[in-house]
Structure 1
Amino acid sequence: MSPPRLPVIAAAGAFAVAAAAVLLPPLTASGATPACSVEYSVTNSWDSGFQAGVKIINNGAPTSSWSLKFDFAGTQKVTQGWSAKWSQSGRTVTASNESWNGALPTGGSVDAGFIASGKGSDPAPTTFELNGVTCDKDPGSSPSPSPTGTDPSQPPADPGTAPALHASGNKLVDAKGAERHLYGVNRSGGEFMCVQGRGIFDGPVDDASVAAIADWKVNTVRIPLNEECWLGTADIDPAYAGANYVSAVKDYVSRLEAHGITPIVELHWTYGTYTGNSSGCADVHASCQKPMPDAQYSPSFWKSVAGTFKDDPAVAFDLFNEPYPDRATTTLDQAWTCWRDGGTCPGIGYEVAGMQDLVDAVRAAGAQNLVLIPGVAYANDLRQWVSHEPADPAGNTAAAWHSYNFNTCSSASCWNEQLTPVISKVPFVAGEIGENTCSHGYVDQVMSWLDAHDASYLGWTWNTWDCSTGPSLISSYDGTPTPYGTGLRDHLRSLR
């Protein structure tokens, strides 16, 4: 599923906060200099609002642009700002440089400020990220493992680590041969924030936010990505692309693994002009869901991603979010041929990379990681998955399925007919389940059916959006569930 378009609050002020003094970079507890430091201060307050300033100090490599991100702990809302382009989504605030103050040399600093509604006495932000890197943090430190417990029916790997997974028949097993199931959530943001010039992730991805996910007894998080942001193409702001983007994704993967959570990195938005049936946008760039991956960038994306994580078998790869070549072609057979083989596909104006091309790209990079392969009809139709299954020399693939109450195949009778033949052959992961009702009646049915068929599933999505505009599991990144999210949370906890 693609995220809803989120509102951006931004206002430019007419004055800047002056620099107070030249500061020496602070040291962390181990004595190492952090990559960046941030000073936050409330300079004025009144009954319904306050004025605050931030001083950003760059202790790392010089940069030509910057973006600062932090979360409010209360109900504060930015209403006006200066010396930066200010925006806010939920509790997450982003400040990006103006055209005249983007250069930030090593040892350099920049000041910016804002006015917000709320109370200045509300808790101040505690964690700041500059260009995706956590400030005031020892660069050699590692996140602490989660203190959450385990269950003998779903054994973890060594404490604080995620298990290496492999397909064995129609089961997923760990390095010791024990059967595993993937139960978890999606963490949307990496697919759209960067291409919209608003950051890398939507909301916090620090250790505290991962601990909140783990508290739901989640053992898997799927991370949607954008191929142009990962590859650093010219149309993406460098602050959110290339090395900065890759580093942010790697950091998040490490934090998840430190809590024993399996990361699934997934290709969500891709390049290529498509204006046919069910088109998400006319833009050639990776700014919406396209019907199929593109031959220009998608194999390169997967070769790079696979090369990045090939020595970490705990990371799983989901090849493409929701293929829908069936909406562009005239027959289902044509759609499945396009799905597997790519090339010139009926109704699609760009050269397509098929699922076989992407499997080949992953394995050519030397990665033996588990690969998830979705079906057609927005991953809701798997009827010809087995007969068109891509060849994999590593023998490590699983079928991926998406299920929402508004999909065509949304009943137990359809699942019995279309899914059971696939489940009997290969491991089966419902990479997205959800509903647009702000309730959990449908996902309760889906989870019950999948449990009975020994399958895995992940809810969409761990983001604080209005559940009436999209299936949002939480209302706060501390793990407070929406009415919809309550169903998933309580069910996952019941399994442990």
Structure 2
Amino acid sequence: MRHPPPLLSLWVCAALAAAALVPLTGTASAAAPACTVEYSVTGQWSGGFQGAVKVTNNGAAKDGWSLSFDFADGQKVTQGWSAKWSQSGTTVTAANEAWNGALAAGASVSAGFVGSWSGANTVPTSFELNGVTCNTDTTDPTDPPDPDPGGGAAPVLKVSGNKLVDASGATRRILGVNRSGAEFMCVQGYGIFDGPVDDAAIRAIADWKANAVRIPLNEECWLGLDNIKPEYGGANYQEAIKKLVDRVTAHGMTPILEMHWSHGQYTGNSAGCSDVHATCQKPMPDARYAPSFWSSVASTFKARPEVVLDLFNEPYPDRATSSLSEAWACWKDGGTCPGIGYEVAGMQDMVDAVRAAGATNLILAGGLAYSNDLRQWLAHKPSDPAGNLAAAWHVYNFNTCSSEACWDDQLAPVARQVPLVAGEIGENTCSHAFIDRVMKWFDDHGQSYLGWTWNTWDCSSGPSLISDYDGTPTSFGVGLRDHLKTLTG
């Protein structure tokens, strides 16, 4: 999908008078937590309250910090100070200002806010600093979390004919969900994720019997370009993604990292925006940054071969030119493409960048028409020296190729030669009759699919699988959840 819902804007105001803080930590243990957060309600009145947080960094020095926590009773932050405050759903984020970003080992920083409440004003109990759990986590912030004892290692997937197999040679299918947020929150200046991505939130996905999570990324945020707030880009963004990958694999699920939004100004047919920056879906990735993005991502995860790399979300060079042959040539080889005003990175360029970095990870490549058209995919398949490339495809009930007749005609020939992964399936009806048909076709052909999307958006305005991050399904999500529970993967 191409458009997330609008986000809530918050503002910063003046200073808070000093107030006593009540620590949430219990009896001290021999090993100090990586960070300590003290939260207090310093004043409360009918419908409103004033709060404060004090963050102590017990780990390595930080050049920037971002604290996140969740409200349990629908409270809303309305203004704040000494941090950039934002809120998405129940999740609140406080990121450093330019003047208080440096946080030395053992140092503390305080910030305050004003909020609204109704019915109850329960104090948050779980906090994360730069993606690391505070008050109870005993690891250094630079270290990955220990695997969850209830999970298992994610399999390393390889292409074998038209199937995916694991290290033992057993056939595997990718069956799971998308977790949107990291493609748009950072470039819009609100944070990194939309909603919680802590262990409980990832466990809820695993509880649906999903075995994979597709994670959309933003090219500019990963690279930390100048238009991205430092607290949400570069090293901070990369570290947050690595932590999420760790949590996904700890529950035995395959993480799929894909480049969703990219740089490059396009104002032609079906343009999502006129912005040169990575704020919407572009017809193709840009040659200026995309190879560097994939070289960096591949270098980061080449020692993690269980991570799957999805090259580009939904190409549509066919909308920029009336010639299908020109569109497919642009898709594969990039360069100067008709109707696109910037230099394009083709699929071959990105495969080459991944392999040159030394990564042998499974690669996915989607076709034309927002990844809904694979008719010439086999004829334009990029060369992969690792032989580990599969086809990606997206379908919604409003797409052109959305019937079994089309799937038999266009998809079946591809699925007979290479593995086929439906990276996004969904419908805008807030029901699941359409994806039921999609899942049946893919089950019958032994191929893979992932539902869009594991976010608590209004499913009447777009495909949203859940109404709560505890895994409560929408009437659309019920179809995927119940079907996954009937399969073994």
| TM-score, scaled to structure 1 | 0.92
Q: 1:67 is matched by which residue type in structure 2?
A: S
Native 8 Å contact 1:18 1:111 kept in 2: no
Within 5 A, what are the aligned runs for 1:82-97? Answer: 82-97=81-96
Q: Distance in 2 between matches of 1:206 and 1:28?
A: 23
Segment drifting more, 435-444 vs 385-394: 435-444
SS in 2 for 1:494: coil
Flag structure 2 segments of 5+ consecutive residues without an equivalent: none
How far does the alpha carbon of each residue in 1:248-292 deviate from its partner, in whole angstroms, 9 at most, with x for none?
A: 111111111110000001111111111111111111111111110
Aligned equivalent of 2:68? 69
How many Å apart are 1:118 and its aligned residue? Answer: 2.7
How many Å apart are 1:50 and its aligned residue? Answer: 3.3
Are 1:444 and 2:436 an aligned pair?
A: yes
Within 5 A, what are the aligned runs for 1:79-478? Answer: 79-98=78-97, 100-119=99-118, 121-136=120-135, 137-139=137-139, 142-145=145-148, 147=150, 160-478=152-470
Q: Distance in 2 between matches of 1:429 and 1:469?
A: 25
Native 8 Å contact 1:317 1:370 kept in 2: yes
Are 1:2 and 2:2 an aligned pair?
A: yes
Aligned equivalent of 2:42? 43
How many Å apart are 1:453 and its aligned residue? Answer: 1.3
Q: Distance in 2 between matches of 1:376 and 1:424?
A: 19
Q: 2:145 is matched by which residue type in structure 1?
A: S
Q: Distance in 2 between matches of 1:366 and 1:138?
A: 33
Q: Distance in 2 between matches of 1:319 and 1:21?
A: 47
Note closer, same or farther for the CA distance 1:178–1:17 as it changes in structure 2 (3 Å cut): farther
Native 8 Å contact 2:5 2:457 kept in 1: no
Q: 1:435 is matched by which residue type in structure 2?
A: E
Q: 1:16 is matched by which residue type in structure 2?
A: L
Q: Distance in 2 between matches of 1:300 and 1:453?
A: 36
Note closer, same or farther for the CA distance 1:273–1:359 as it changes in structure 2 (3 Å cut): same
Native 8 Å contact 1:132 1:244 kept in 2: no
Aligned equivalent of 1:153? none
How many Å apart are 1:318 and its aligned residue? Answer: 0.3
How many Å apart are 1:27 and its aligned residue? Answer: 9.9
Note closer, same or farther for the CA distance 1:143–1:481 as it changes in structure 2 (3 Å cut): farther
Native 8 Å contact 1:28 1:138 kept in 2: no
How many Å apart are 1:117 and its aligned residue? Answer: 2.8
Native 8 Å contact 1:63 1:105 kept in 2: yes
Segment drifting more, 315-324 vs 105-114: 105-114
Q: Distance in 2 between matches of 1:14 and 1:230?
A: 32
How many Å apart are 1:138 and its aligned residue? Answer: 1.7
Note closer, same or farther for the CA distance 1:29–1:286 as it changes in structure 2 (3 Å cut): farther
Q: 2:160 is matched by which residue type in structure 1?
A: S
SS in 1 for 2:369: coil
How many Å apart are 1:295 and its aligned residue? Answer: 0.8
Q: 1:8 is matched by which residue type in structure 2?
A: L
Native 8 Å contact 1:131 1:239 kept in 2: no
Q: 2:192 is matched by which residue type in structure 1?
A: I
Segment drifting more, 433-442 vs 98-107: 98-107
How many Å apart are 1:195 and its aligned residue? Answer: 1.1
Aligned equivalent of 2:31? 31
Native 8 Å contact 1:86 1:93 kept in 2: yes
How many Å apart are 1:21 and its aligned residue? Answer: 7.9
Q: Distance in 1 between matches of 2:28 and 2:327?
A: 55
Native 8 Å contact 2:265 2:341 kept in 1: yes
Q: Distance in 1 between matches of 2:27 and 2:296?
A: 34
SS in 1 for 2:481: helix
Q: Distance in 1 between matches of 2:26 and 2:381?
A: 55
Q: Distance in 2 between matches of 1:120 and 1:31?
A: 38
Native 8 Å contact 1:9 1:79 kept in 2: no
Native 8 Å contact 1:224 1:265 kept in 2: yes
How many Å apart are 1:122 and its aligned residue? Answer: 4.4
Q: 1:170 is matched by which residue type in structure 2?
A: N
Q: 2:50 is matched by which residue type in structure 1?
A: Q
SS in 2 for 1:303: helix
Note closer, same or farther for the CA distance 1:122–1:382 as it changes in structure 2 (3 Å cut): same
SS in 2 for 1:45: strand
Note closer, same or farther for the CA distance 1:162–1:421 as it changes in structure 2 (3 Å cut): same
SS in 1 for 2:291: helix
Q: 2:158 is matched by which residue type in structure 1?
A: H
Q: Distance in 2 between matches of 1:366 and 1:26?
A: 46
Aligned equivalent of 2:52? 53
Q: Distance in 1 between matches of 2:480 and 2:28?
A: 39
Q: Distance in 2 between matches of 1:216 and 1:420?
A: 28
